[in-house]
C-alpha cells in the first residue's frame, strides 16, 4: 500500500459525459501528479500540482482539468468524454523534503467510455 488513495476504482460512462476522479496523496506530500495509462500510449504525464498551484503540464487535453485543494487532495475532471479517453488514470504523490524523487502511485481509476 503506497498510502495514495484514488476513487472510484472503476468508472463506466458514456461519450459526451463528464467525470471527476479523486486522489488523496500520502500524508505530508505536497505534490500530486496525474498520469494516463492507455494501451496505445503507455504511461503519460498529464499535470502536476504543488501545494495547490499548478506546477507542470504535460499531454493534457483541453477537455481535461485538475485542481488541488487546501487539504492537498486533488481532482481530475474529464469532460466531453470520447471513446479514446478510456484508460487507467493514476495519481502519484511525492515528498520534496528528501533527496529521492520517488513518486508514490495510487491504485488507479479505470475509466471506460462506452
Partner 1 sequence: GESVGLHLPTLSVQEGDNSIINCAYSNSASDYFIWYKQESGKGPQFIIDIRSNMDKRQGQRVTVLLNKTVKHLSLQIAATQPGDSAVYFCAENGDNQGGKLIFGQGTELSVKP
| Sole binder of partner 1 in the list 23, 29, 78, 106 (CB under 8 A) | 106
Instruction: Work out whether 33 is an interface residue with partner 1 (CB under 8 A).
Output: yes
Instruction: Work out whether 97 is an interface residue with partner 1 (CB under 8 A).
Output: no
Q: Interacting stretch for partner 1, rule CB under 8 A, among 16-24, 67-75, 87-95?
A: 87-95
Instruction: Work out whether 102 is an interface residue with partner 1 (CB under 8 A).
Output: yes
CA–CA distance, 46 with 61 (Å, rounded to integer): 8
CA–CA distance, 22 with 76 (Å, rounded to integer): 7
Task: End-to-end CA distance of the chain: give it in Å, rounded.
Answer: 31
CA–CA distance, 81 with 79 (Å, rounded to integer): 5
65 versus 105: smaller Cβ distance to partner 1: 105
Question: Are the beta carbons of 86 and 111 closer than 8 angstroms?
Answer: yes
Q: Interacting stretch for partner 1, rule CB under 8 A, among 16-24, 35-43, 66-74?
A: 35-43
Amino acid at each position: 500500500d503506497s498510502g495514495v488513495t484514488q476513487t472510484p476504482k472503476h468508472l463506466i460512462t458514456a461519450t459526451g459525459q463528464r467525470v471527476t476522479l479523486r486522489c488523496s496523496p500520502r500524508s505530508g506530500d505536497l505534490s500530486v501528479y496525474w498520469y494516463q495509462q492507455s494501451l496505445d500510449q503507455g504511461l503519460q504525464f498529464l499535470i502536476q500540482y504543488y501545494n495547490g498551484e499548478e506546477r507542470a503540464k504535460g499531454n493534457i487535453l483541453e477537455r481535461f482539468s485538475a485542481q488541488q485543494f487546501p487539504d492537498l487532495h486533488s481532482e481530475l475532471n474529464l469532460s466531453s468524454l470520447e471513446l479514446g479517453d478510456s484508460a487507467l488514470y493514476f495519481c502519484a504523490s511525492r515528498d520534496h523534503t528528501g533527496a529521492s524523487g520517488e513518486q508514490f502511485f495510487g491504485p488507479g481509476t479505470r475509466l471506460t467510455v462506452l
